[in-house]
Chains A and B, each alone.
Chain A
Amino acid sequence: MDGYIIGTIIKAVLILAIISALAGFGTYIERKVLAFMQRRLGPMHVGPYGLLQLVADGIKLFTKEDFIPSGANRLIFMIAPMITAATAFIALAAVPMLPEFTLFGVTVRPIVADINIGILFVLGMMAAGLYGPLLAGMAQDNKWGLLGAARTAIQFLSYEVVTGLSILAPIMIVGSLSLIDFNNYQSGGIGDWLIWKQPLAFILFLIAGFAETNRTPFDLLEHEAEVVSGYATEYSGMRWGMFFIGEYTNMITIGFLASLVFLGGFNSWGFLPGGIAIILKVSFFFFLMLWVRASWPHIRPDQLMWLCWKVLMPLAVINVTLTGLVMMF
Chain B
Amino acid sequence: METFAFYLFAILITGLFAVTVMSRNLLYAMTSLAAGMVLISGLFFILGADFLGVVQLIVYVGAVMALYAFGMMFFDATGVIKEKNGSPFLVFLLGGMTAVLLVVIFAAPVIGHNVPSLYPPVAGADNPHAVGLVLFTKYLVPFEVAAVMLLVAMIAGIILAGKKMERSISKIDDSELETSGGKDDE
Which residues of A come within 8 Å of B, CB atoms? 71-73, 75-76, 79, 115-117, 120-121, 123-125, 127-128, 130-131, 134-135, 138-139, 141, 146, 149-150, 153-154, 156-157, 160, 164, 177, 300, 302
Contact = CB atoms under 8 A, between A and B. Distances in A.
A153 B66 CA distance: 7
Given A131-B34, A156-B65, A138 B54 contact: no
Given A127-B61, A157-B65, A146 B77 contact: yes
B25 A123 contact: no
A134 B77 CA distance: 12
Contacts of B54: 117, 120-121, 124
Contact of A130 (B55, B65, B66): B65
Nearest to B72: A150
Nearest to A142: B78
Nearest to B25: A73
Main secondary structure of the interface of B (DSSP, over half): helix
B65 A73 contact: no
Contacts, number: 84
B77 A138 contact: yes
B50 A115 contact: yes
Contact of A76 (B31, B58, B61): B31
Contacts of A76: 27-28, 31
Contacts of B55: 120
Interface of B: 25, 27-28, 31, 34, 38, 50-51, 54-55, 57-58, 61-62, 65-66, 68-69, 72, 77-78, 126-128, 168, 170
A150 B25 CA distance: 18
A127 B72 contact: no
Given A115-B50, A149-B72, A139 B27 contact: yes
Nearest to A160: B62
A117 B38 contact: no
B127 A116 contact: yes
Given A79-B31, A138-B78, A157-B62, 4 more contacts: A117-B54, A131-B31, A131-B61, A302-B170
A131 B63 CA distance: 12
A2 to B, nearest CB: 13
Contact of B77 (A131, A139, A160): A139
Given A72-B78, A117-B50, A124-B57, A138 B62 contact: no
A128 B61 contact: yes
Given A73-B27, A149-B72, A123 B58 contact: yes
Nearest to A178: B126
Nearest to B169: A302
Contact of A138 (B50, B66, B68): B68
A131 B67 CA distance: 12
A120 B128 CA distance: 11
Contacts of B65: 130-131, 134, 153, 156-157
Contact of A128 (B25, B57, B127, B168): B57
B26 to A, nearest CB: 8
A146 B27 contact: no
B170 A116 contact: no
Contact of B61 (A79, A124, A149): A124
Given A76-B31, A153-B69, A116 B61 contact: no
Contact of B78 (A71, A117, A131, A302): A71
Contacts of B51: 117, 120, 177
Contact of A135 (B31, B57, B168, B170): B31
Nearest to A154: B69
A116 B48 CA distance: 11
A117 B34 contact: no
B27 A135 contact: yes
Contacts of B168: 302
B58 A127 contact: yes
Contacts of A75: 28
B119 to A, nearest CB: 21
A120 B44 CA distance: 15
Nearest to B64: A131
A243 to B, nearest CB: 17
A120 B59 CA distance: 11
12 contacts: A71-B78, A72-B78, A73-B78, A76-B28, A76-B31, A79-B31, A116-B127, A121-B54, A124-B58, A146-B77, A153-B68, A164-B58
B60 to A, nearest CB: 10
Nearest to B67: A153
A188 B170 CA distance: 52
Nearest to B51: A117
A176 to B, nearest CB: 8
A139 B57 CA distance: 23
